[in-house]
């Protein structure tokens, strides 16, 4: 009985939780050796596809291009795929170089990972989207703040927290020292902290 009662009271005072997600706003640039420049260079999304239908095998690439010398390289979307397994609607969008689709691939972390292409982390543009905010009648001074980083963008945790709270990084460090911000968990894909309500 006492256990049940305890469980119930915890639920009623569950701490308020706010969740954000980091979402890229622009296509990723790729860093790779460019044979034209003879050095590492930045490649950008041309928003053009290359489609090669050969018998019953289909290849589709998204074309990236060196910013300086226009050398191109292709990122594979489909390789030696049976044409029937590619959705007709998507296939038509490849043929007409659908810009929206090219941007979708250009912001898909998985797509670059699959192609073993190195994303230029320094130039990634992103925003924080609020995904969820729970209702709570909890009277404590703190809220739980969660930041999801599903793309695994290489951003320092203090930088992420500073940007969500709209304060400087040095301020975040000071608040951590004073335990006004307490870390629960920090990983590449996920940050969970407790923070004083006054800063939300």
Q: Could you list the residues that contact Zn ion (CB under 5 A)?
A: 34, 36-37, 41, 66, 68-69, 71
Name the strands in the sheet holding 39-54, side by side, starting at the edge strand that comes first in the sequence: 72-81, 57-66, 39-54, 30-34, 118-119
Tokens describing residue 67: 């910013």
CB 127 → Zn ion: shortest distance, Å?
Answer: 30
The smaller minimum CB distance to Zn ion, of residues 69 and 188, is found at 69
Burial of 88 by CB count in 10 Å (0-12 exposed, 13-18 middle, 19+ buried)? exposed
Q: With respect to Zn ion, which residue has the nearer C-beta, 31 or 200? A: 31
Nearer to Zn ion, 36 or 150 (CB): 36
DSSP 120: -
Minimum distance between the CB of residue 122 and Zn ion, rounded to whole angstroms? 18
Nearer to Zn ion, 66 or 143 (CB): 66
Closest CA to 28 of 107, 122, 85, 101: 107
CB of 15 to Zn ion, least distance (A): 52
Q: CB-wise, 30 or 155, nearer to Zn ion? A: 30
Smallest gap from residue 44 Cβ to Zn ion (A) = 11
Ramachandran quadrant class, 12 (left: phi over 0; alpha: psi -120 to 50; beta: rest): alpha
Q: The tokens of 90 are what?
A: 């998507």
Closest approach of Zn ion to the CB of residue 17, in Å: 47
* Close Cβ partners of 1 (under 8 Å, ≥ 6 residues apart): none
Using CA atoms, how far apart are residues 37 and 21, in angstroms rounded to an integer? 37
């Amino acid at each position: 009985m006492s256990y049940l009662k305890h469980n119930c009271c915890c639920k009623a005072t569950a701490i308020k939780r706010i969740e954000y997600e980091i979402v890229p706003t622009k296509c990723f640039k790729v860093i790779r050796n460019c044979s034209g420049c003879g050095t590492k260079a930045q490649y950008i999304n041309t928003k053009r596809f290359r489609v090669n239908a050969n018998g019953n095998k289909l290849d589709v690439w998204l074309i990236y291009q060196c910013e300086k010398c226009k050398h191109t390289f292709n990122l594979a979307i489909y390789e030696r795929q049976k044409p029937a397994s590619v959705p007709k609607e998507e296939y038509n969008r490849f043929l007409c170089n659908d810009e929206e689709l090219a941007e979708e691939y250009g912001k898909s972390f998985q797509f670059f990972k699959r192609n073993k292409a190195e994303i230029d982390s320094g130039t990634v543009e992103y925003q924080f989207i609020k995904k969820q905010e729970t209702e709570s009648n909890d009277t404590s001074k703190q809220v739980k703040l969660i930041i999801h980083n599903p793309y695994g963008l290489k951003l320092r945790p203090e930088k992420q927290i500073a940007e969500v709270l709209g304060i400087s990084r040095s301020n975040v460090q000071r608040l951590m020292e004073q335990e006004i911000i307490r870390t629960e968990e920090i990983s590449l894909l996920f940050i969970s902290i407790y923070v004083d309500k006054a800063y939300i």
